[in-house]
Amino acid sequence: MDVSDIRHSLHVEADHLEAEVIRHLVDELGPRGQRAAQHLATARSLLADGLDRHLRGADLVAFSLREATTSIIEIPRGSARGQTRSVVTPVLAAYETYQANLGSGNAEVQGISLAALLERVAELEVLRVSWVERDLIAGLVERTGAVAFAARAELVREIQDLRDTANFGVHDGISAEQALSAYNRTTAVLRRLFMRPVDRNEQLERLAAIEAPTPNYLATLRRLLISPEHMRTFLRSLTTSEWFESLGDDALFDPPVDGTAWAGYAPAESRGAADPAGTVVWFSRMYQRCRTSSLQAAHIFRAAHGLGESADDLLVQIVTDHLGSSAIREQAWAFVAGVDADRFVVERLADLLLNDHDDADWQVAEIAAKLAAGVTTENGHRRLTILAHEIRHAAGKPYALQFALDAYPCLDDLAGADHPDRLSALLAAFIAGVSHGSDVFGRGSLDEVMAALPPAARDRIRAWTLATDPQSDQAEIQRELAHAIATRERSGDDAHLVAKLTAGGPDVGVWDTLVDRLGPAPEAESVVAATVGAGEDANRLWRAYRWLGLIPAASHRAWSAPFEWTSSQFGRPDVDSYMRRRGVEVWTGQSPLSVDELLALDVNEAAKLVRRWRREPGDHRTGTRELARVLEQAVATAPERWLAAPGETARRLHEPMYIAHFLRGAAIAIKAGTIPVDVDELLGVVELIGTAPWVPEPLGERDWDFDSTWLPAQAAALDLIESLADCSVGYGTRVDDVWAFIDAAARDPFARAGITGDDPLTVALNRSDTRALWTALQVVRRNEQRGPVAMQVLEGLLALGLAAAGQDGAIWRAVIAAHFRVTVAARPDWLDANQDALFEPENDPELGRSTLESALKWNPQPLPWILRHRRREVLAAARRGAEDGLEYVLVGHLWQLDGYGAQEILALLRADSGITPRLGESLGRLLRGVDGEVNDLGVSLWEQILDAELGHDMSGFGWLAEACGIADGAWCRLTLRTARATPTGLDWSSRVAERAAAMTASETTLALLDELVRHPRRPWDGYRAAEHALTHLSAARGPLLETPEYRRLHAALVERGLTGV
């Protein structure tokens, strides 16, 4: 062949990319796509002119192809880690399955699981490629929303090989034929990657319409499939089940093992209705490949369960193989609940599912009831036998059967009841099944089924069947009663049997015979001992007592005296007592007196009664603590009576626990403002508590029954002092006494005993000493009583707190720090004078840090003093992740305080990249609902952080979607930059998408929504973003329709199955 022939051949055979594909490539990759398109155009031009007309023309083609592929695969988003997980996860799942099957003893199953493991391990080959190639896979995920099928193997290798071939050609030379081959291979791969989604879908739909597919069509299909959505489009478009034959042995369509979505549901939804049998055959062949994986099996079960009876064998096989999988059992429960009760598959699955797998009792009840509801002549024996065996198994637990039967005197009560346990649900189903099948199988068949029941259940059910069967004769009833009286307790169904026997008018001899089954009556002197004892004699006496209540008295004979004496002591059993279900009695602690009963008494008498009351031995229901709470309610309800002479009443109550609740009731009444209060008299009770005048008396055997110290009463007194300040009632003439009480409480050496916890302020509020400091600061804040005594006490307590060291010091300082505003208002110079002791205590830097963190955490509004004077500590707290530390830094910035500028914040972010997302969230929360120039400061900071290109996770800046004071245009522009800088997606992205979609459509809004769709923080964020994007895209008009942003967003939505645009 001469050169002209080669030129002509090259021109004819070159496979050029369509313009639509090139434009889509540019839309997707932007500047990198443009570079790739330019290099491809150069290669095309060289081939069109003839390689012989250019010096080293073939090498130039190789160079162009190398640069084109390099531009495409260099995707700077760093998303390869997600793809790595998607490849490794199936390997780990396969390994777990293999390990689980090692102990099965089934060599076939072990071999299948090992083969599956090795197949998954082979897929790890993709991780051996360069990070650049993994970025290519990340690009496929970005465009399609899922890990690409082809990316697992041949597509990645093909691109790598093309790049290597072109690179070798540049350095080592390449022939014209090799250049043409490389060009055509490159365009073929790029066509697969960058075909417009609408064009790909059209081709898939045309392919699905082919009625007699050949292997060539299957090859074409594989080239078109890049993502699960492509597969779903194809399967949903199938018009014939002939394709299933071609697809049957192709693992490409097998369910995933990594929890991602599966396209295999599509044919069950579309073709399944037209050809369920053909669809089931495909699923069955697929299951044979996937049977060792419970995850894949669960997918197949879910897809096949709606295909009718043709899928029953497959469903049963899946459940049988994976009975230990709770996910598959859950699907099986749901399937059984939704099908006709008489289908054979119901009993097949019930036989598997009713085995005890620790499933919920309601599920057992539901499927057992379904099994019973479908009883017919053909299946009744089988279904009741299943239930009988399950009852026997459930009854194996100690006392389970006894409790279940005792709860239902009449087995008819089982119908419609809420069954508290598995066994009751099974018994109810068995009874229902017998009722449904009573007219389709006879007594002999039923007795054969009941032989599998435990004896106690068998006897009770036989009595019930005779009692409810209108055809039962007197002889059968007599035999059953004779057996029952001799062996077990009576039931409500036995009472029905006796009533039927009585209605038949039996001879007296029949009753005598039944009484004889009780055995010999005890002697009179042993009856009393038997009623309070145990053993065989006692059991026989009580059984006789309960049975004789059903039998005519004339037939009691020797049993008459024992029965009458027992009835005189415990009541004569009547028929109603046999029918009543035994309830479950639940009780809580109760007061021996109600509020109304206390209010009905004179206050003095009531107080004396409360003090004197003690619980009787063996009484576990009533208690002194409950009585104290009722006392509190009585004081709050009738304060005009109970607070008329509070000092006298408190002394009559005497015990600290009662006095504490008395004061709490008074505090409730004061807050309600129901009556004027004699403050001096009431505060006399506080003074009494401060003297701790007597040792508390034990009011019961439990610690809960009384207060062993005066500390709880002291806490109640502090509550009262705060309540008086809250309501501006004041302290009358006892102001100094109140402060003396607070001071003494704070210095009580026993106040801190036994109180521990992680949060210093929480501990402080539960200790009387630090609680006293809290009360002092609250009184100063609320009542502004700042006389000399008050200030002297307050300064002394503040000094006491500053002197405390270690964890104790942190607890005192938490109270002080939470009241810095109060302290500054009372003593403006106090913080300045004591800041070194507060924040830089000698030899204990941790105590200083704890003080600052308490101040940051517990002051609802930032403190300007801290921001101005402790800037270094605030920045350090922010770096440590202290609660509200970042908020303080940002407030300092928004207030434009020195030392909190953008450069200081950037230095903070550079020191720890983990701070960046938290800072974004904090900024968003601070600017929420804020108007004015502060938003401009926030925007400026946001923009400077972006300009710094820190490379950090900026997901938290998604919270700025709540900052409605930021103009939409500026917000959208910066959010787009943030999204592009954050490969992991934005926080609160659903709100970001909502706000963007509500704006007038523009290139920026389209680009932002495209980022949110392609890079969701979580999968469901992507779904919500896509919904908003679909609405917004539909509203785009005019020139926007021809923009790359519109086409890119449109392509992303189509790739994810949203075609309504």
Measure the CA–CA gap between 731 and 716, rounded to whole angstroms: 16
Q: What is the pLDDT of residue 883?
A: 81
Measure the CA–CA gap between 329 and 334, rounded to whole angstroms: 9
Task: Report pLDDT digits (tens) over 860-878.
Answer: 778 888 889 888 988 888 8
pLDDT bucket at 442, cuts 50 / 70 / 90: low
Task: Report pLDDT digits (tens) over 697-725.
Answer: 887 767 677 788 888 999 999 999 988 88
Does the pLDDT value for residue 727 go beyond 60? yes
H/E element, 102: helix 80-102
Average pLDDT for residues 318-343, to the nearest whole number? 91
pLDDT bucket at 133, cuts 50 / 70 / 90: low
Structure tokens at 192: 């697969």
Cβ contact 521:558 at 8 Å: yes
More confident residue, 720 or 582: 720
Range in 55-59, 195-199, 817-821 with the lowest mean pLDDT: 55-59
H/E element, 1022: helix 1019-1035
Q: What is the pLDDT of residue 328?
A: 92
Say how far residue 262 (Cα) sits from the centre of its chain: 24
Average pLDDT for residues 36-62, to the nearest whole number? 84
Task: Report pLDDT digits (tens) over 338-391.
Answer: 999 999 999 999 999 988 777 777 888 888 889 988 888 888 888 889 998 988
Average pLDDT for residues 476-483, to the nearest whole number? 88
Strand partners, 590: 622
Measure the CA–CA gap between 434 and 1001, rounded to whole angstroms: 68
Does the pLDDT value for residue 632 go beyond 70? yes
Task: Report pLDDT digits (tens) over 80-103.
Answer: 444 444 456 566 667 667 666 766
User: Rounded to 5 degrees, what angle do the CA atoms 108, 113, 115 make?
Assistant: 95
Does the pLDDT value for residue 4 go beyond 50? no
Task: Report pLDDT digits (tens) over 194-219.
Answer: 889 899 889 998 988 888 888 888 88
pLDDT bucket at 450, cuts 50 / 70 / 90: confident
What CA–CA distances, in Å, run from 1034 to 196, 546, 995, 1028, 1061?
A: 19, 80, 16, 10, 6
Measure the CA–CA gap between 1045 and 26, rounded to whole angstroms: 11
Task: Report pLDDT digits (tens) over 891-923.
Answer: 999 999 999 999 999 988 888 888 889 999 999
Task: Report pLDDT digits (tens) over 971-990.
Answer: 999 999 999 998 788 999 99
Query: What sign for the dihedral angle of Cα 135, 138, 143, 148?
Result: positive
More confident residue, 443 or 842: 842
Q: Give the residue from 921, 919, 899, 824 showing the smallest Cα distance to 863.
A: 824
Q: Give the residue from 672, 671, 628 showing the smallest Cα distance to 653.
A: 628
Measure the CA–CA gap between 369 and 427, rounded to whole angstroms: 10
Does the pLDDT value for residue 590 go beyond 80? yes
DSSP state of 126: G
Measure the CA–CA gap between 68 and 62, rounded to whole angstroms: 10
pLDDT bucket at 140, cuts 50 / 70 / 90: low
Q: What is the pLDDT of residue 85?
A: 46
Measure the CA–CA gap between 588 and 625, rounded to whole angstroms: 12
pTM for the predicted model, two decimal places = 0.70
DSSP state of 913: T
pLDDT bucket at 1001, cuts 50 / 70 / 90: very high
Q: What is the pLDDT of residue 246?
A: 77
Average pLDDT for residues 755-781, to the nearest whole number? 85
Measure the CA–CA gap between 942 and 907, rounded to whole angstroms: 14
Query: What sign for the dihedral angle of Cα 225, 230, 236, 239?
Result: negative
Measure the CA–CA gap between 948 and 946, rounded to whole angstroms: 5
- Per DSSP, the three-state class of 590 is strand
Cβ contact 308:276 at 8 Å: yes
Strand partners, 622: 590
pLDDT bucket at 8, cuts 50 / 70 / 90: very low
Q: What percent of the chain has pLDDT over 70?
A: 86
**Block residue for tokens 């914040």:** 905
- Per DSSP, the three-state class of 963 is coil
Question: Can you list the pairs that 459-463 forms with residues at least 24 positions away whose Cβ atoms lie under 8 Å?
Answer: 459/483, 459/484, 459/487, 459/488, 460/405, 460/411, 460/491, 460/493, 461/411, 461/430, 461/431, 461/434, 463/491, 463/493, 463/494, 463/497
Does the pLDDT value for residue 7 go beyond 50? no
Output phi, psi for 748, to 5 deg.
-65, 120
pLDDT bucket at 146, cuts 50 / 70 / 90: low
Mean per-residue pLDDT of the chain: 83
Output phi, psi for 622, to 5 deg.
-100, 155
pLDDT bucket at 78, cuts 50 / 70 / 90: very low
Q: What is the pLDDT of residue 80?
A: 42
H/E element, 82: helix 80-102
Q: What is the pLDDT of residue 753?
A: 60
Range in 81-95, 103-117, 727-741, 834-848 with the lowest mean pLDDT: 81-95
More confident residue, 117 or 218: 218
The separation between the first and the last C-alpha atoms of the chain, rounded to the nearest angstrom, is 53
Average pLDDT for residues 570-596, to the nearest whole number? 70
Does the pLDDT value for residue 230 go beyond 70? yes
Average pLDDT for residues 600-619, to the nearest whole number? 86
Does the pLDDT value for residue 581 go beyond 60? no
**Block residue for tokens 């099994």:** 371
Q: What is the pLDDT of residue 677?
A: 73
Q: What is the pLDDT of residue 301?
A: 93
pLDDT bucket at 637, cuts 50 / 70 / 90: very high
Measure the CA–CA gap between 276 and 304, rounded to whole angstroms: 9
- Per DSSP, the three-state class of 622 is strand
Q: What is the pLDDT of residue 11?
A: 46
More confident residue, 716 or 111: 716
Average pLDDT for residues 415-441, to the nearest whole number? 78
Cβ contact 636:668 at 8 Å: yes
- Total Cβ atoms within 10 A of residue 603: 20
Measure the CA–CA gap between 528 and 526, rounded to whole angstroms: 6
Does the pLDDT value for residue 395 go beyond 90? no
Question: Can you list the pairs that 890-898 forms with residues at least 24 positions away whose Cβ atoms lie under 8 Å?
Answer: 890/919, 890/922, 890/923, 890/926, 891/862, 891/867, 891/926, 892/862, 892/867, 893/937, 893/941, 894/926, 894/934, 894/937, 894/938, 895/864, 895/867, 896/937, 897/864, 897/867, 897/868, 898/868, 898/871
Average pLDDT for residues 156-160, to the nearest whole number? 76
Measure the CA–CA gap between 321 and 298, rounded to whole angstroms: 11
Say how far residue 202 (Cα) sits from the centre of its chain: 41
